[in-house]
Amino acid sequence: MIDVAYAQSPAGASPMSGPEQFLFSFAPIIAIVLIFYFMIIRPQQKKQKEMQAMLASIKKGDRVLTSGGIYGVVVGTKDDLIVLKVSDEVKLEFSRQSIVQVQARGE
């Protein structure tokens, strides 16, 4: 019978030192966090900033679309209210947050 001996490192010793081993073990978690940031969080923040800028720039004469699907022309604005003219004799008040799109800018 032939005895086979395998080379083994001493118990508890690893080829990497403490800080290297720490970075190596957390590298997948760090990579996942970075992927989430660049693929999900950052584009969402950019979209939210664009929406806030659009809502802040609404003025009288703009044609807008509400979240309920109603098109109208802005005839007045207050702090958080927008008054839309939807037909000749119909004016509705909406929250500024309910505007989802500005179709055309007024002169």
Task: Say whether both 52 and 87 belong to one domain.
Answer: no
Task: Say whether both 64 and 52 belong to one domain.
Answer: no
Residue 5: inside a domain, yes or no? Answer: no
Mean pLDDT per block of 10 residues along the chain (107 residues) reads: 66 65 85 93 95 92 94 92 94 95 77
pTM (predicted TM-score): 0.65
pLDDT at position 5 is: 66
Residue-range definition of the domain harbouring residue 82: 59-107
pLDDT at position 2 is: 74
pLDDT at position 24 is: 82
Quickly count: other Cβ atoms within 10 Å of residue 62's Cβ.
Answer: 19
Residue 8: inside a domain, yes or no? Answer: no
pLDDT at position 64 is: 95
Residue 72: inside a domain, yes or no? Answer: yes
Given a contact cutoff of 8 angstroms between Cβ atoms, the answer to whether 84 and 73 are in contact is yes
pLDDT at position 22 is: 78
pLDDT tens sequence across 61-72: 999 999 999 999
